[in-house]
Chains A and B, each alone.
Chain A
Amino acid sequence: MSGRPVAVIGVGQTRYRTRRDDVSIAGLVREAALRALEDAGLDFADIDAVVLGKAPDLFEGVVMPDLYLADALGARGKPLLRVHTAGSVGGSTGIVGASHIASGAFERVLVVAWEKQSESNATWALTLAHPMSTSLVVGAGGYFAPFIRAYIERSGAPGRIGPMVAAKDRRNALRNPYAHLRIPDITPEMVEATPMLWEPIRYLEACPSSDGACAVVLGGRTAARAAPGAPAWVLGTAMRSEPIAFAGRDAVDPRAGRDCAADVYAQAGIADPRRDIDVAEVYVPFSWYEPMWLENLGFASPGEGWRLTESGATAIDGDTPWNPSGGVLSANPIGASGLIRFAEAAQQVRGAAGDHQIDGARTALGHAYGAGSQFFAMWIVGSECP
């Protein structure tokens, strides 16, 4: 990437749950932040700047909660930034944190993203339409279902692919102590037996609603050398946005996603993502988005993504493991979900992913998208300093 080298030197996550009734908002956010600091061998006093990410404020009903959380994050007297870019926000927050260091202005930055969905109801918040607006009250699943159906029709994918992805990611989640959904012995048949929510999305093909926070400590070269654990070097970062609706837009295979991938691959020297990327943590909130993003990200040719899934290539023991952590399908604290992808990618190249570690992972992709499949944020991390 451009600017000075940046590394992930600490990662901290909360356990993701439907309700984290045992903590306040500040307590939830601190849980992740303190774990990340501990991982980096640092304290709040060592941090130069704090970057906070979260989805819409309406979810918790606290306006600009970075202001209230400043004390809890040891930010008094320091720079603070609050990122909000829809569902891709966790990823964007990681990129903005990296930019702090790449710019040369800072050496150690704390990045935190969080959501406490149990305080309200995401569907309620997402469907708060103005009078005179023409939006449908459908929530995220209802919004994406037409794109998924279009993908199935376009690619000729068999109906079993979605349940396959759902079962694979939930099996991976059993290896991740932080994951929210834990369904022992889950199978594609079990997924197919659950009720249809937004055709073709069944109950177990949709992400849960979670409370949780994720934090990473980013450092420059000096900080990375001093860190107790192995760093994950940031080899590229990219963001792309396109309008939500315009004549000729392809919402199934959005150009913003393709352009974003091309940009981040160029920075990181990735010629063939399937060959050059050892493991990917990709934002798959509904099962079918795995084959769709396999194509959008260039891991498969158009119309062929589902074949890669079906072949087992994206399983934890496949040649292109996707979402060994269990992914968004296994835990979705919305504002944090993107940063979790970025952090899990970093843990893989740090060799710190525990039971879901991919052996020998040296290059990993973290991916997030949001709103009407129109905002994308990606980074590539590697075990070697660029």
Chain B
Amino acid sequence: MSPDRQTGSPDETLSGGHTVEFPGGYTRSTGPVIGRFLTELRDGRIVGVRARSGRVLVPPTEYDPHDGSPVTGEFVEVGPAGTVTTWTWVAQPRPAHPFTRPFAWALILLDGADTPLVHALDLGPDSGPAPPRRLRTGLRVRPRLRDERVGDITDIACFRPEVDRITAPTRLDYTIRAGPALTRYLDAQLEGRILGMRSRHGTVYVPLRDVDPTDGSPGTEEVELPDTGVLTMFSVNHVPDPRAPEVPFVTGYVRLDGADVDLLALIGRVEPSRVRTGMRVRAEWLPPEERSRTRPSIRWFVPAEKGEDDR
């Protein structure tokens, strides 16, 4: 067949697939030095060769790349651990790449070697499109060897970071019983009430407690406090916390009207830059269906409505 239409227009010329593949693959004899490296690798060892200059070349070649001089016959076991000297993160691997999920290529200087080798670096199955934070020059890595080795550079499946941390999931189960005062305080919160205690010195503590912390004397009476007060101290937090709203968020101490001690509370619904010491705040209660006997029912304190801080 021959293309006989000479229109020159790209959408009218013929096209067809063309594959170049030598059946069975090229057969490459290795020679003594590469062969020694691959044989040792099949046995699970990584070796370099000493050049005349004294440098250990990894992977080993029959010559020093620096000047072409023949290497000595001395093979040196290196690694298996090494250090990343440069890296790239491949978010979308190509078909020829060793992974189908994101991974790194790296130059890795194995311990005892003077030249780094190129290989793939696996940072785990959770790797995403962005380079993992721990992937950096200087990272310590070790090879993962394949179980079935044949004597090929890919007998090293990849390298992985050295272990420098462990995660230790721990769990202990307890049953906690609140004392009578805390039980009454939380139950009252379910109804939207805040209970405190008046001590024999006349000071009002909140939350409700059994004894005066200054001398251990029992309280004299329960006191119901309003859900409004004054912010006495506060801080703007920029460190994320799973229990807190998005950073930055404000935590502060609230002196409820009529109380003599502060409640530690989150401050919400206000730009952190507008929070002031002395500002009037009031509790924002969780809706009744979200309240629970085992948790405070106040979500956070919020700036009091206009006029409420005129007191």
A residues apposed to B, CB below 8 Å:
19-27, 30, 34, 44-45, 58, 60-61, 71-76, 118-121, 124-125, 128, 130-132, 134
Contact = CB atoms under 8 A, between A and B. Distances in A.
Interface residues of B, number: 29
Which 6 A-B pairs give the minimum distances between C-beta atoms? A74-B68, A131-B16, A24-B31, A71-B65, A27-B31, A44-B68
Interface in B255-289: none
Given A76-B68, A119-B27, A58 B20 contact: yes
B22 A44 contact: no
Contacts of B1: 132, 134
A24 B34 contact: yes
A265 to B, nearest CB: 38
User: Most chain-B CB neighbours within 10 Å: which of A21, A132, A134?
Assistant: A132
Contacts of A71: 61, 63-65, 68
A118 B24 CA distance: 13
B114 to A, nearest CB: 15
B174 interface: no
A44 B62 contact: no
A125 B26 CA distance: 11
Contact of A30 (B27, B30, B63): B63
Interface in B1-60: 1-3, 14, 16-18, 20, 22-23, 26-34
B22 A24 contact: no
A273 to B, nearest CB: 40
A235 B67 CA distance: 33
Given A74-B63, A130-B18, A131-B17, 16 more contacts: A23-B31, A24-B28, A24-B30, A26-B61, A26-B63, A27-B32, A30-B68, A44-B69, A71-B65, A74-B68, A76-B66, A118-B29, A119-B27, A120-B22, A125-B22, A132-B1
Interface string B116-160: 000000000000000000000000000000000000000000000
A259 B34 CA distance: 47
Contacts of B28: 24-25, 119
Nearest to A21: B29
Contacts of B61: 26, 71-72
A134 B31 contact: no
Interface of B: 1-3, 14, 16-18, 20, 22-23, 26-34, 61-70
B29 A24 contact: yes
Contacts of B22: 61, 120-121, 124-125
B29 A132 contact: no
Contacts of B34: 24
A240 to B, nearest CB: 30
A71 B65 CA distance: 4
Contacts of A58: 20
B14 A132 contact: yes
Contacts of A21: 29
A225 B11 CA distance: 64
A134 B2 contact: yes
A283 to B, nearest CB: 26
30 contacts: A19-B29, A20-B29, A22-B29, A24-B33, A24-B34, A26-B61, A27-B32, A27-B62, A30-B63, A34-B70, A44-B68, A61-B22, A61-B26, A71-B61, A71-B63, A71-B65, A72-B63, A74-B67, A74-B68, A74-B69, A76-B68, A119-B26, A119-B28, A121-B22, A124-B22, A125-B22, A130-B16, A131-B18, A132-B2, A132-B14
Contacts of A19: 29
B244 to A, nearest CB: 57
A71 B66 CA distance: 7
Contacts of A75: 68
A378 B64 CA distance: 35
B12 to A, nearest CB: 14
Nearest to B22: A120
B23 A124 contact: yes
Nearest to A70: B65
A125 B27 CA distance: 14
A132 B32 CA distance: 44
Nearest to A61: B26
A114 to B, nearest CB: 14
Contacts of A76: 65-68
A304 B65 CA distance: 54
Nearest to B65: A71
B30 to A, nearest CB: 5
Nearest to B35: A24
Nearest to A131: B16
A131 to B, nearest CB: 3
A44 B68 CA distance: 7
A134 B3 CA distance: 10
B67 A30 contact: no
Nearest to B28: A119
Contacts of B70: 34
A197 to B, nearest CB: 21
Contacts of B3: 132
Contacts of A132: 1-3, 14, 16
